[in-house]
Structure 1
Amino acid sequence: MIRRPLRPLARVLRARDEGGNPDAIAAENLRLRHEEMRDRARARAEGRLLVLGFFFFVAFLTIGVRMGALAATEAEEPRAVANGNPIINQRSDIVDRNGRVLATNLDTHALYAQPQQMIDPAHAAVELARIFPELDAEELLEDFTGNRRFLWIRRQISPEQMQQVHDIGDPGLLFGPREMRLYPNGPIASHILGGASYGREGVDSAEVIGVAGVERYFDAWLRDPANEGQALELSIDLTVQAAMEEVLAGGMTLMEAKGATAIIMDVHTGEIVAMASLPDFDPNDRPRPLTEGDQSDSPIFNRAVQGVYELGSVFKIFAVAQAMELGLVNAQTLIDTRGPMTWGRFRIRDFHDYGPQLTVTDVIVESSNIGTSRIALMIGAPRQREFLGSLGFLEPTQVEMVEAPTGQPLLPQQWSEISLMTISYGHGLSASPLHLAQAYASLLNGGHRVRATLVRQDGPQEGERVVSEEVSAAARSMLRQVVTRGTASFAEVPGYEVGGKTGTADKPRPTGGYYTDRTISTFAGVFPAHDPQYVVILSLDEPQQFVAGENRRTAGWTAVPVAAELIRRTAPLMGLRPEIATLDPTGVTQTASH
C-alpha cells in the first residue's frame, strides 16, 4: 500500500507562493488519512460480524432441525455402551383375571462388603451377626480379615435392616440397589406362580428370573422391555383360588389325608379358574427340592399337574360315552354284570353285587367294574386308545407351566385285552388330575375338545369334536343321576344341579402290587349339569374317615363332601346364581284367618 505524504512538496511550494500556511496542508492530510483508516477498520469489522452471524444462524438452524427430529420420534430409553449383555432388572407384574396383583416388584437393597476399606472388621462382624442372626460373626471376621476384596453379605435387606447397618458406620459396608419379586398373597396360588430368584448379579443391579410355574414359563415375556410394563393376565380368580385352598385345607385335615388337589375349569374355554395343591409353600421363601426320598412329599410338588395317578371309576364315563358314540349301546341297554369276571389269572369284581344285569345308566350310577369292562370289550383296545388320545390322555398337558411336561401319563406297555378292561374303570393308566379336568370338560361341554390354559381367553375354544351333542347330554344326565341316586349323593348342592362321578383307586406299592389301606379318592363333577359351565376335580391322597365303627376310604365318604363344600363356596363367587325350584301352586293350602 502506497501511503500519501503529509507534506507534499508541490502543495507546500504553491502555498508559500500564495502566502498560505504549509502546516494546514499537513493537518488536512493527517485528518484524511485517519478517516481512511477508520473506514477500512469499520469495513473489516462489519465483514467479521457478517461471517460470525452466518455461523450462528447455521448453528441455531442445525439445533432446531435436530430438536424437531427428536420430537417426531418415539421415546426410547438411553442405553449405556458397555461390553457384554446388560442386566435387565425390570419384570412385569402378574395379575388374576380381574386385575388383582399376584406377583409384583419391590425396590430394596443388597448388602456387600469391601474388606480393604473396613475400619473395624471385628466390630462390624459382631454387629452384622446381631442384625442378621443366621450369620456367624467368626466366619464374617475371617472373611473380612482374609484376602477377599469383595463379599456378598445379604442379597436382600429391609429398610429397617439397612438403617441398622448404616448405624454401624463402617465405610466398607456398602449397599446396592435391588428389585425383588414379591408375592403379596403369600401361599395362595403358589404352585401356579412358582417363584423367582436372582440370575446374574452386579453391584448396581440384579437379574430377576423365574424358577418354576408361570414365572419360569413366561420368563422371557415378563423380562422383555418391549412390553412396557404390561402385566401378564392369568385365567385364575384370586377370590375363588383363596376359597378353594381354604376348603381344601379343611377337608384334608378332616379326612386325615396326606395331600390334596383341586381344579375348577371353564368347560367352554379351558380356563383354569382355580387350581390348588396341598401341602403348599410361600413363593416369597421357596423351599429347596428334596435331595432324597419321594419328591411327591415335597411341598413344591404340584399334585394337579405333576402327580400321575390311577384315578379309578371317574374313567367309566369315557367308556360308556365312546360306546354310545359308536352306536354300540344306548342309555337303556342292558349289560351283563354277573361276576366275578375272569380273564386268565385276573378277577374283576364289583364293590357290591348288583345282580345279573344293569342298564348302561345304572352301570355308571352304581359304578359297576364288571359292567364297564363288558362295554369296553365291545369297543376294543385300538379304538379305546384312540378315543382316550382324543381326550388328551396319551401325552402331557400343554398348560403354561414348566412342570407340565413332567406330568407324562403312564400307559401300559402292551394295550392288551386286560388293559382294555382295567383302563375302562380307571386302573392300568395313570394320569394327572389336570388331564381328567380337560377330558371331562371336552366330554361334557357338548363334545368339543378343550385344552387347559392358565391365560385368560377371549372366548370359547373351538376344538375338534370328540363326541356328539346327544352323547354329551346323555353323559351329563348319567352323572347327574350319580349324585341324585348313586355313589355321590353327598355332592348335592341345592340350586346348582351338580353331576359327577366318584373314583377310588388303591395306591401302587413301589415294589409292586397295591396297598390295601392307602387310596387316591377322586370326585370329578360338572355344574350346572343341564347347562355346564364349570368342571371340578378334587382328589385326596390317602384319606380316611372313621364312620359307624370303621375307616371309610372311598371317594363317596371322603372326596365328595369336600367337593360339595367347594362348589357351595365358589359357585356364587363365579357369578352363578342358585336356581331355586318354584313351589307348585297345587301344594299351597289357603287358610282363612279369624
Structure 2
Amino acid sequence: MAKKADSSFLRQANLKRNHGTSAIRVRGPGRSRIFFAMTIFVMVYGAIAGRLILLGLQDGSPAGSFLAAQNTVAQSRPDIVDRNGEILATDIKSAALYAEPRKIPDSDEVFDGLITVLPELDTPAIKKRLESNSMFTWLKREITVEQRQAIHALGLPGVGFRESNKRFYPGGQTVSHILGTVNVDNQGLSGMEKYVDQAWLKDLQELGFTQDRTMEPVALSVDLRVQHAVRDELRRSMEYYQAKAAMGVVLKVDTGEVIAMTSLPDFDPNNRQQALEKKRMNRVTGGVFEMGSIFKGITIAMALDSGKVKLEDGFDATKPIRVSGRTINDYYGKHRVLTVPEVFVYSSNIGTIKIMQKAGIEEQKKFLERLGLTEKLHTEMPGVAKPLLPPKWNELAAMTISFGHGLGITPLQMAVAGATLVNGGKYLEPTFLPRSQEEADKLAKQVIKPETSEILRYLNRENVKRGSGRRAAVAGYDVGGKTGTAQKVVNGRYIEGLYLNSFMSAFPISNPQYLVLILLDEPQKVEGQHFATAGWNAVPTTASVIRRIAPMLGVVPDFVDDAETIPVSYQSRN
C-alpha cells in the first residue's frame, strides 16, 4: 500500500510540473517581445545621449552642449537695491551669438559676414570653430540689439541667437567696489554679487530655480546719495592734491551698517575688465596700511580703560626716546610735560609711548584683540585682507604700534575700531546689509567702559576746536576727530614726505551717529600750503563730505555751539 501511495503522489507531482511548464511556454513569447523592445529603446537613447556628450566634449564650447548652453544663458539674479530701494544692479535682456558648424555649408562666407558686424571675431580661433564638425559653439556671449539685427539681416546659415541675462549697473562706478562684478554666465566674481552667490543663489541655480525667475531684491545698508557724495568729494580732493589714491568710509556707529565705502581709482562694473587692473583694487577692505596718529586714540583709550592712567596725568615729552638704535621724536614737539588731552591734541609720539608703557605691553595686546585689530575682519564682503602683525611684539614694536606704525590693518577695520571708541564702547562687526537697532543690540559686545568712550569723544572734539582737526569744523555739526600722517615704507625704510594721510571723525560728537574715515595716499602740497600733512588735505576733505551728507542722513544741525567754520573750495591748478 505504501508503494502505491508513493506512486500516486509522484504522478500528481509530475502532472503539476508539466502543467506549469505548459503555462510558461504559453506566456513566454509575449514577455520576450516586451523585454526586447525595452532593451532596444534604452540602447538607442543611450547611444544618442552618449553621442551628445561626446560632441560636447569634442566641441570644447563653454557650455559643453546646446542643452547645457540653454540652461546657462537663462540664469537670473535678483536686483540689488540701496537702503532706500534705489536700484544698484539689475538684469537686462541680452543676446548670445552661437553657431552650429555642421549646418554651415560655407564657413568662409559666414566668417566674412560676421566680422563685418563684430570685428573682434576676426581671430583664428573663431575661424577654426566655424570650420569644425561640432554640433554647437559659442561665438560671442553678449551682443547688442543693433548687432543682433545686423547679423540677422545677413541671413547666415548655421548661425543663431539665444536670449540671455546681462548684469547692468545703472550707477556705473559709483558703488563698484561694494557691488563687485559677475562673469559672462551671470555668476558673482567679487563684492556683494559674490556674497549673494555664496549665501544662497548658487544653490538655487544648481537646482534650476533661477531660470527666468523674478526674485526678491537684495537690500544693502548703503545709501546711494551718500555714496555719490563721498565718491565725488574724494575724486575732487584726489585730483586737487594730486594723490595716488583716496579712500572713504561712512559707518553708522550704533548699528555697524556701512552707509558708504569708496576706494579710488575705482572701475565701471559694466566693463568687468577694468576690475582686473591692480590700481583699481578695493583698498578699503583689501588693502593693509599703517594708520599713523589716528591710532593714538586707541592707545589712550586702552590706558584709560585699564585704570592705570587718568586724564589729568602728565607725561614728560621733553626729550626723544631712543630704543634699539632708533630715535623717536615728535613732529611738532612742545618739549615739556604734557597732560593726556595735550598728548592727543598735539599728537605727541613721545607722550603716547609713555602712556602705553604705563599700561603695559600685555594690556596693549589684549585691548587690540578686543577691538578686532589682530585678526581678519568678519563681514559679508569677500576678499577682506588679514592684518599684518609684528613678527615680535617686543618693546620697540609696542612703542611704534602705540602711534600707528608697525601694525597694518584695513581702513574698514580702523573705522570699526573708531566707532567703538565713540559709541559707548560697543564693538559691532560691520555689515553691508540692513541691521535694525534691536539686532545690533543683540550683537554688540561691550569692550570699553562707557566713561572711557565719553572721554574719547571729548578729546576728539577738542582736537577739532584747537588741534590739527580745526579745518573739519562744520557749522551746526559738532565734529570731533583725529588726524593721522603716516610715513610710507619704501624698500624697508620710512620715507619723509611720502605720506598716507587720514582723518577719522564722528558727528555729532556729543551723541555720535556716524563715523567718517577719509584717507589720501601720497597727497602733494598745493599753492599756499607749507605742508602736505593730514591737517591740510584729509581734514578739509572730511569737512566737505560731512557738509554734504549730514542733511541727507537727517542729522539735525545745532547752532548753539558757535564752532568756527572754515570754508573750503576746490580750484583748478594752472
* TM-score, normalised relative to structure 2: 0.80
Could you give the per-residue CA deviations for residues 59-97 of structure 1, whole angstroms, max 9, x where no partner exists? xxxxxxxxxxxxxxxxxxxxxxx9999657121111111
Change beyond 3 A, Cα 1:403–1:141: closer
Aligned ranges 1:434-449 → 2 under 5 Å: 434-449=412-427
Pairing partner for 1:566 from 545, 550, 573: 545
Matched, 1:452 2:455: no
Pairing partner for 2:454 from 453, 473, 477: 473
Could you give the per-residue CA deviations for residues 415-454 of structure 1, whole angstroms, max 9, x where no partner exists? 1111111111001101111011100111110111111110
Aligned to 1:69: none
Query: Does structure 1 conserve the Cα–Cα contact (< 8 Å) formed by 2:478 and 2:561?
Result: no
Aligned to 2:279: 298
Letter in 1 for 2:414: L
Query: Does structure 2 conserve the Cα–Cα contact (< 8 Å) formed by 1:125 and 1:138?
Result: no
Q: Give how far 1:548 is off.
A: 4.1
Aligned to 1:191: 177
CA distance in 2, matches of 1:349, 1:582: 36
Please list every run of 5 or more consecutive structure 2 residues that lacks an aligned counterpart in the other structure: 1-66, 563-574
Q: Give how far 1:331 is off.
A: 2.2
Q: Tell me, what secondary structure is at the counterpart of 2:187?
A: strand
Q: Tell me, what secondary structure is at the counterpart of 2:456?
A: helix
Matched, 1:214 2:192: yes
Higher helix share: 2
Letter in 1 for 2:404: G
Q: Give how far 1:146 is off.
A: 4.5
Pairing partner for 1:408 from 386, 402, 416: 386
Query: Does structure 2 conserve the Cα–Cα contact (< 8 Å) formed by 1:289 and 1:298?
Result: no
Query: Does structure 2 conserve the Cα–Cα contact (< 8 Å) formed by 1:312 and 1:504?
Result: yes
Could you give the per-residue CA deviations for residues 41-60 of structure 1, whole angstroms, max 9, x where no partner exists? xxxxxxxxxxxxxxxxxxxx
- Aligned pair count? 484
Aligned to 2:167: 181
CA distance in 2, matches of 1:102, 1:519: 34
Matched, 1:319 2:299: yes
Aligned to 2:517: 537
Matched, 1:171 2:119: no
CA distance in 1, matches of 2:525, 2:398: 32
Aligned to 1:353: 333
Aligned to 1:257: 243
Change beyond 3 A, Cα 1:532–1:287: same
Could you give the per-residue CA deviations for residues 517-573 of structure 1, whole angstroms, max 9, x where no partner exists? 3211011111110010001111111111234475x3211112111111111111111
Aligned to 2:23: none
CA distance in 2, matches of 1:368, 1:259: 27
Query: Does structure 2 conserve the Cα–Cα contact (< 8 Å) formed by 1:508 and 1:515?
Result: yes
CA distance in 2, matches of 1:298, 1:492: 32
Q: Give how far 1:176 is off.
A: 1.1
Aligned to 1:131: 117
* TM-score, normalised relative to structure 1: 0.78
Aligned to 1:36: none
Identity %: 39
Change beyond 3 A, Cα 1:534–1:549: closer
Q: Give how far 1:185 is off.
A: 1.1
Q: Give how far 1:135 is off.
A: 2.4
Query: Does structure 2 conserve the Cα–Cα contact (< 8 Å) formed by 1:235 and 1:453?
Result: yes
Letter in 1 for 2:322: T
Letter in 1 for 2:455: A
Q: Tell me, what secondary structure is at the counterpart of 1:412?
A: coil
CA distance in 2, matches of 1:85, 1:120: 26
Q: Give how far 1:281 is off.
A: 0.5
Q: Give how far 1:347 is off.
A: 1.1
CA distance in 1, matches of 2:116, 2:477: 58
CA distance in 1, matches of 2:474, 2:188: 40
CA distance in 2, matches of 1:426, 1:150: 59
Query: Does structure 1 conserve the Cα–Cα contact (< 8 Å) formed by 2:245 and 2:521?
Result: yes
Q: Give how far 1:147 is off.
A: 4.2
Q: Which moved more, 1:360-369 or 1:280-289?
A: 280-289
CA distance in 1, matches of 2:561, 2:454: 24
Could you give the per-residue CA deviations for residues 448-489 of structure 1, whole angstroms, max 9, x where no partner exists? 111111010121523221211111111001001111100111
Aligned ranges 1:372-383 → 2 under 5 Å: 372-383=352-363
Please list every run of 5 or more consecutive structure 1 residues that lacks an aligned counterpart in the other structure: 1-81, 200-207, 584-594
Query: Does structure 2 conserve the Cα–Cα contact (< 8 Å) formed by 1:313 and 1:503?
Result: yes
Q: Which moved more, 1:170-179 or 1:256-265?
A: 170-179
Q: Which has the larger radius of gyration?
A: 1
Aligned to 1:242: 228
RMSD (Å) for aligned C-alpha atoms? 2.2
CA distance in 2, matches of 1:158, 1:145: 25
Query: Does structure 1 conserve the Cα–Cα contact (< 8 Å) formed by 2:476 and 2:561?
Result: no
Q: Give how far 1:268 is off.
A: 0.5
Letter in 2 for 1:581: V
Pairing partner for 2:498 from 518, 525, 536: 518
Matched, 1:104 2:83: no
Letter in 1 for 2:339: T
Change beyond 3 A, Cα 1:356–1:155: same
Pairing partner for 1:230 from 216, 222, 238: 216
Aligned to 2:555: 576
Matched, 1:505 2:505: no
Pairing partner for 2:308 from 314, 328, 350: 328
Q: Which moved more, 1:484-493 or 1:109-118?
A: 109-118
Q: Which moved more, 1:375-384 or 1:115-124?
A: 115-124
Change beyond 3 A, Cα 1:140–1:417: closer
Aligned to 1:79: none
CA distance in 1, matches of 2:140, 2:427: 50
CA distance in 2, matches of 1:93, 1:258: 34
Query: Does structure 2 conserve the Cα–Cα contact (< 8 Å) formed by 1:120 and 1:170?
Result: no
Letter in 2 for 1:236: V
